[in-house]
Amino acid sequence: MRPMSNGQGGPQSQWDPWKPQSQQPQQPWGSGGDDGTPDWAALAEASETRGKRRKLLFIGGGALATIAIGTAVALAVVSANGHSGPSGSASQLPSASLPGGSADAVPSFAPTSAPPPLDPKDFISSAKKDTAPLSPETLFPGSRLTMGGTVYEKGATSDTTSCAGAAGGTLPGILTANGCTRLMRATYTHGDVAVTVGVALFDTEAQATKARKQTDDHSIVRSLSGSGVPAFCDGATCRSTRNAYGRYAYFTLAGFTTGKNVTTKDTQVFSAGDNLAEFTFQQIRRRGQAQASAAANR
């Protein structure tokens, strides 16, 4: 007798709509009245199973799509931070960071400044610094001098540590009281006009300045004759000047070699005295400049 087809004759094959090789099972029919009507309950159950599978696949696919979109955004962000050149290498590399500072920080250094230039006057304001060789030959070089277009011939020179002996009028006492240590003289002539310039040395600028302030119209340096220059200003009226610079006080006495008195109309005498005073000042100043330059180059 053949088994009944009501599902009790053995294991039924499972039909999976997602498996191509599976076969749809034969729908059971009623034993009493086989009218060809489908089993609607079985079909509904199979449809519900397929719906659940699609939903799971859709959710899983959405998660994968989300991951893919996130990756694309991440790649876009990285790409925006570094443009690729033709070779595929990044043309803008991340800036290197230094510990404790930004990559753009510029190294800073302590401000520096060059030392101020040496003041030439400092070297002629104190005997301790004014140590360059000094003599009438270095202070009054050459055999003639040109000032303002006028040529002066140099005559005799002298150098003494007895300052009072080379001065006249009220000057000897002033030089002695203020500590004069040396007095050098030189005479220059132009025609019948002669000028003796005398330079007195002190240990400090303060002494020289004080001595200068104590002088008056009767404080004069003695005229120096010799070497072709006759005596002058021995009893005749002459014109004198007095100045100071650094530790030096310098004086001039100008007159005629003929013994004539000097008046305010004798402009050549005044000019000669002023020229020699200016020349002496420049020589003292150059002495300071030379010593300052030598000290700066050591």
Q: What's the mean pLDDT when you consider all of the chain? A: 79
Phi, psi angle pair for 8, to nearest 5°: -115, 5
**What is the spatial distance between Cα 232 and Cα 222, in angstroms, rounded to a whole number?**
10
CA atoms within 13 A on the CB side of 185: 25
Residues with Cβ within 8 Å of 170's Cβ and at least 6 positions away in sequence, in order, are 215, 216, 218, 219
H helix intervals, 100-241: 136-139, 171-177, 205-214
Buried b (16+ CB within 10 A) or exposed e, 188-203: bbbeebbbbbbbbbbb
Q: Whole-prediction pTM value?
A: 0.62
**Is the confidence at residue 25, as pLDDT, over 70?**
no
pLDDT-based confidence at residue 42 (cuts at 50, 70, 90): low
Q: For residues 187 and 136, is the Cβ–Cβ distance under 8 A?
A: no
Beta-ladder partners of 196: 187, 253
Cα 1 to Cα 4, 10, 43, 93: the distances in Å are 9, 15, 31, 87
Q: Using the Cα atoms of residue 119, residue 121, residue 126 and residue 127 in order, give the sign of their dihedral.
A: positive
pLDDT (tens digit per residue) in 141-195: 999 999 989 999 999 999 999 999 999 999 999 999 999 999 999 999 999 999 9
Q: Which two tokens stand for residue 292?
A: 């300052």
Q: Which residues are registered as beta bridge partners of 244?
A: 249
Confidence of residue 221 (pLDDT cuts 50, 70, 90): very high
27, pLDDT greater than 50: no
The residue ranking higher by pLDDT, 117 or 232, is 232
What is the rounded CA–CA span in Å between residue 206 and residue 222?
A: 24
Residue 286 CA, distance from chain mean position: 29
Predicted pLDDT at 217: 94
pLDDT greater than 90 at residue 89: no
pLDDT at 2: 46
- Find the mean pLDDT for residues 54-58: 53
pLDDT of residue 218: 95
SS3 breakdown of the chain: % helix, strand, coil, rounded to 5? 35, 20, 45
Higher pLDDT, 89 or 63: 63
Residue with tokens 């005073």: 277
Residue-wise pLDDT for 246-296, tens only, equals: 999 999 999 999 999 999 999 999 999 999 999 999 999 999 999 999 999
Task: Compute the average pLDDT of residues 55-71.
Answer: 49
Tell me the per-residue pLDDT of 94-108, one tens digit each, with 9 for 90 and over.
Answer: 444 445 555 555 556
